[in-house]
Amino acid sequence: MATATGENLTTLDRFRGASAWTRSTRAQIERYSQFNSSVLISGPSGTGKELIARSLHSSGPRAANRFVPVDCAAVAGELMASQLFGHLEGAFTGANHASLGCFQAADKGTIFLDEIGEMELELQAKLLRVLQERVVVPVGGHDGIAVDVRVVAATNRDLSEEVRAGRFREDLFYRLNVISLPTQSLASRPEDIPPLATEFLGQLAQEGMPKKELSAGALEVLQKFSWPGNVRQLKNVLEQAVVSCDEPLITLQYMHSLLKSRVGEIDSLGSPGSCNSGYLEFCSASRPPLSNVNPYPSPAHPAQWESLEAVERSYILQTLEHTYYNRSAAARLLGLSRQSLLRKMKKHRLEVPVLD
């Protein structure tokens, strides 16, 4: 779902790191933020694509106006068209009043189209027309409404491959890809981990959690980890360490033990002889398939029996956490379409944690 805010919660100052990629991306953000050209941010989930989009907005001349993020995979069809372009009263069943839509809400500001690769082809055609003419036509209406919006889109898919497969419009791809900003996995830039860890620990302390620091050894363990969930996973691990560690200093041994205890992540530390093994000796246990896990043992009393709805919510949440909230991967594990998973997440009020 889309949300809007007049105050930018994340800016270029929060875009931390020491790697060549981070320095280059910061420079590109500072350069491109001054223009109105469309931007396409691509890369793995959890690498901070929304942070880049917010930084582009907050560093440019549109910063005083709204930044409106839209999850293009959240809903489909007419509802998504209504969310983007607005609708007139009575345009469809349930349209009891008119709606501006996200493009009009973002007028003079920036609209962020997250997971643009999930958008249906029919809606892609309507979006292309808006980008070409800078005019939106609300659902149920005929008259166009001019909008002045900068468009920033993001995807974890290879859109050029999606174009070849016929799943994404070539003309829309070129319209969005005026400026290309690819992200990189956290494992490919381990020098970013110390400043990111310092930033996240500071954020957690400001939120009222215990103030903790990492030893040099703990930082080295973090830098050796492969981070399949990228920056989002790093933040999750640090929060767990802050909550569970009794001492003010998180040590090498504690961090190593914590990462080993996180089921399914132990192989990411590497095995003896691998480039990630370093001075540590790690075991090779792997996570059993989710289909073989029964996290719901029979209760001792019928009154303790969970409802089917509660079981479904818990299992979906477990799967999302297992995939670090990569909804495409979670849908595959659950044997659902991505749209079905998103509908169930909405039903159970499950949201993807915001990556600051």
Q: The domain containing residue 234 runs over which residues? A: 187-269
Q: Which amino acid is at 165?
A: A
Q: Are residues 38 and 68 in the same domain?
A: yes
Q: Are residues 173 and 217 in the same domain?
A: no
Indicate the number of domains in the chain.
3
Residue 275: pLDDT band by 50, 70, 90 thresholds?
very low
Q: Are residues 173 and 318 in the same domain?
A: no
Residue 2: pLDDT band by 50, 70, 90 thresholds?
very low
Q: Are residues 93 and 177 in the same domain?
A: yes
pTM of the prediction? 0.72
The CATH number for 76's domain is 3.40.50.300
Q: Is 100 inside any structural domain?
A: yes
Q: Report pLDDT digits (tens) over 54-80.
A: 999 999 999 999 999 999 987 777 788
Q: Are residues 72 and 196 in the same domain?
A: no
Q: Is 290 inside any structural domain?
A: no
The CATH number for 328's domain is 1.10.10.60
Lowest mean pLDDT among 100-109, 138-147, 269-278: 269-278
Q: In the predicted model, what is the mean pLDDT of the chain?
A: 82
Q: Are residues 79 and 170 in the same domain?
A: yes
Q: Are residues 41 and 116 in the same domain?
A: yes
Q: Is 280 inside any structural domain?
A: no
